[in-house]
Chains A and B, each alone.
Chain A
Amino acid sequence: MTQATVITVSWIDPATGGARQEIATAPIVFGRVAISMPTTINGVATRQIELGDSDISRFHLLVDWQGDRLVATDQNSRNGTFLNGRRLQSDVVPNGGQLQMGAVVLSISYAVASIPAAGASGGGIAPVGGVAPEGTIIRRVRTSREILAERQIDPRDIQSSRLPMTEVDFASVGGGLGSYIWADYLRVFGARTEQIAALGMREPSPYANYKRLCLNSQIPLHERLRSNSDSCPDNIWGWPGYALREAWYDLTRGSAGTALRYLWQVFSEPTLSETYTPRAGRVFDSIDREARRIGWDRIWRYGRVKAIRQTTDGRYAISYAQSDEKRDPAFMIARYVVVATGYPKIQFLPDLQAYREQYDDFRTVVNAYEDHNHVYQQLAQQGGTILLRGRGIVASRIIQRITEIRQQTGRGDIRVLHLMRSPKTQGNTFKFAKRAVANHFEFQPFNWPKACWGGDLREVLEKANDSERDELIKSWGGTTTADRRDWREIVDRSVREGWYAIRFGNVSSVVPNPNGGTLTTVTGNSGEQEVNADFIVDATGLDAEVKYNPMLEDLVNHYQLPLNPRRRLAVNNSFEIQAMRQRQGRIYAIGAIAFGGPYAAVDSFLGLQFSSQWVLDDMVKADAPGLRRLDGWASFNQWMKWATNQAPN
């Protein structure tokens, strides 16, 4: 018997009635509160198993090898531990033994003869040696690659391959804002933290990636996001909104003037005043508070997801690497899965992509969403010209940043050339309405007409078929910027001062110029012109087509899943990937990866809340364990818990 021998722990969750199983190596610690349990025993990392039963102590029981015997030791728990019905202090647990704590009965099983030392990561194909636990069929050990080749995975194959395996009711693929908002809904709808797992690749903070994109695209923490007051990722009710909170904050610090202004803004926007938008830093702080309230640190786990498969018992298996090295495969089995992978790729215009690849130059041609601070540093020190491509909100941000640099340094030799394909003198039209335009920028408070979030345009899109949706998205979409007075003034003034100019035409080539910058050849109405620039900034955006994410591409190929006209995952009106439906579970896709489906603003805070709400309602209808429909007083009650910062359950 070695430390690598895997132990299978199975039990029935008393709260949900669902079967749970963990496959782990010792030492294993059991208790009610994860932070009270040790993370290592004698220098070996523990597997923590949290059990949500009030009769279980915070750190209740330790199971570890002593030589070749598996020993369970009670940690002076208040209500004790029982081994096969007898009170236990510290004793050997036989294979198939039952340990009881509170209402939870754990069945413990492990291979009783020594196992070839192939390691827990499961490399070699070797039969399981010795005697298997009673009632188990001896199965061939398979590698994770072999397991994934099957159309459906038998969880017993994972078990006999000695790969780490965790079972949960709800799992999300992606550890960002989409997963966090979904987990927030789950918690408020009654799920407990130990039922939920979010597999993320970056930092545990749900907004880490979003924040990076904000900072790169020139939205520092004190600046305002292009988001509505009641789009609150920390609050599923959207009340109180950020305007009310900011007004209250300012009022309690004696700043009644600004407080009244925010309230006036939300009252009169967008007709009589500029639309209120919240400060980035405030939004992040509110997310942190809610993350603590719902126990996000226990939901989030590091996981580089490789593949998703159906299981033969009607659930889903997620194959992932537990660290960056990709050599430690593990499986998570879940009944309900949400795919919230966000934007996998920064999008470049084709000619700029070609330039970067051909000249291996990632310094002069940059994307607005990647770190490009060197551009501003050089402009501040030496002056120069930026060629800006794309006319969305990020372009406005960059013009604002350049204005600030010009003011701070007093340099008159910093110029911006804004290259657009064609003039925009008329806004988009839809039925009787028309979008406003100035300086070839189309104005709209948010990136979709407001009725796309919850008004009649949302209903129109939901009822439309695939090709109608494509048409509707074309007429409501397009790059727009917010109608902010300061931006309009900046653009007007910079045009007058002559350091900002708009050119129209199609790019025929981009090559390096002798000064270390770039030479762009533009074909327009007035023939060919050549534009020299020290830097080219591509502000056209981000992309989430399935083909940019290998894990999703594998899923689509493995199950022949349909894509929508926008080449993203096709989902039904509840955001379910219906072709993947199983007896016991469902898979959903939310966020950018579902764009082109029933909802336009999928990647916004409010859009993620909308999708999560619809997913939760669908799961409640499907009888997902531990969830109940949230409405009326139950909803009000949960809001009170939010307001008083108490855990949802």
Chain B
Amino acid sequence: MTPTLLGRIQTRILLFGSVGAIVSFPFGAAGLLVLFVALILGMLWDILYNVIQKLRWDRDWPAALQLAAGVWEGLVLLALFPGIFNLWHYSLVWLSVFIASQSVMRLMFPRWRFRGGRWL
């Protein structure tokens, strides 16, 4: 799937709010707080990623760049919340969101991949 800016933001909200929230519960209030901040900051990062994407000829966003973005966002969260940032929690959120975006999103929203990640 090749995301558009609106698609990135919509997918991020849906997946952070569903699978992201589910895997964050065991980590308590701290987990949910980090998830919430990750979501808000993420939507700002999406604007930057979208600019970078436009510099690429194919205007695509390979999975490898998705992983790089995840590492980068994690480092920023660690700097912001050195006390409560939990690497296990963050990795679990990233992995579950990644897997869901690669599978169940396509099965539940057949138009999602044609609309740059927009599901609404």
Contacts and interface: CB of A to CB of B under 8 A. Distances in A.
Interface of A: 230, 236-240, 266-272, 427, 430-436, 444-445, 449-451, 453-459, 610, 613, 617, 630-633, 635-636, 639
A270 B62 CA distance: 7
Contact of B54 (A270, A433, A445, A630): A433
A459 B116 contact: yes
A269 B62 contact: yes
B71 to A, nearest CB: 14
A445 B57 contact: no
B61 to A, nearest CB: 8
A449 B106 CA distance: 22
B54 A431 contact: yes
Contact of A230 (B58, B67, B113): B113
Contacts of A427: 57
A633 B110 CA distance: 11
Contacts of A270: 58, 60, 62
A235 to B, nearest CB: 10
A456 B55 contact: no
A435 B54 contact: no
A237 B106 contact: yes
B79 interface: no
Interface residues of B, number: 31
28 contacts: A238-B113, A240-B103, A267-B63, A267-B64, A267-B67, A268-B62, A271-B62, A271-B64, A271-B65, A433-B54, A433-B56, A433-B59, A444-B58, A445-B58, A449-B58, A449-B60, A450-B2, A451-B58, A454-B116, A455-B3, A456-B59, A459-B116, A610-B114, A613-B114, A630-B110, A631-B109, A632-B108, A636-B108
Contacts of A459: 4, 116
Contact of A451 (B59, B104, B111): B59
B109 A455 contact: no
A450 B53 CA distance: 11
Nearest to B111: A613
B110 A451 contact: no
A455 B2 contact: yes
B35 to A, nearest CB: 24
B107 interface: yes
Contacts of A445: 58
Given A633-B108, A635-B107, A268 B63 contact: yes
B73 to A, nearest CB: 18
B32 interface: no
Contact of A432 (B55, B104, B113): B55
B116 A456 contact: yes
Interface of B: 1-5, 53-60, 62-65, 67, 102-104, 106-111, 113-116
Given A451-B60, A456-B54, A631-B109, 14 more contacts: A237-B107, A240-B103, A430-B57, A432-B54, A433-B57, A434-B57, A450-B2, A450-B58, A456-B2, A456-B53, A456-B116, A458-B114, A635-B110, A636-B107
A450 B59 contact: yes
B110 A435 contact: no
B119 to A, nearest CB: 9
Contacts of B110: 236-237, 613, 630-631, 635
Contacts of B59: 433, 449-451, 455-457
Contacts of A271: 62, 64-65
A239 B103 contact: yes
A455 B108 contact: no
B80 to A, nearest CB: 28
B23 to A, nearest CB: 21
Contacts of B116: 454-456, 458-459
A450 B114 CA distance: 12
Contacts of A444: 57-58
Which of A239, A613, A617 lies at the interface centre, i.e. has the most chain B CB atoms within 10 A of its CB? A239
A427 B57 CA distance: 10
A432 B50 CA distance: 13
B85 to A, nearest CB: 26
Contacts of B57: 427, 430, 433-436, 444, 449
A239 B106 contact: yes
A247 to B, nearest CB: 13
B117 to A, nearest CB: 8
Contacts of A268: 62-64
A455 B4 contact: yes
B64 A453 contact: no
A239 B58 contact: no
A497 B56 CA distance: 35
Nearest to A236: B110
Nearest to B50: A456
Closest CB pairs A-B (n = 4): A455-B2, A451-B59, A450-B58, A450-B60
B68 to A, nearest CB: 10
Nearest to A273: B64
A266 B55 contact: no
Contacts of A436: 57
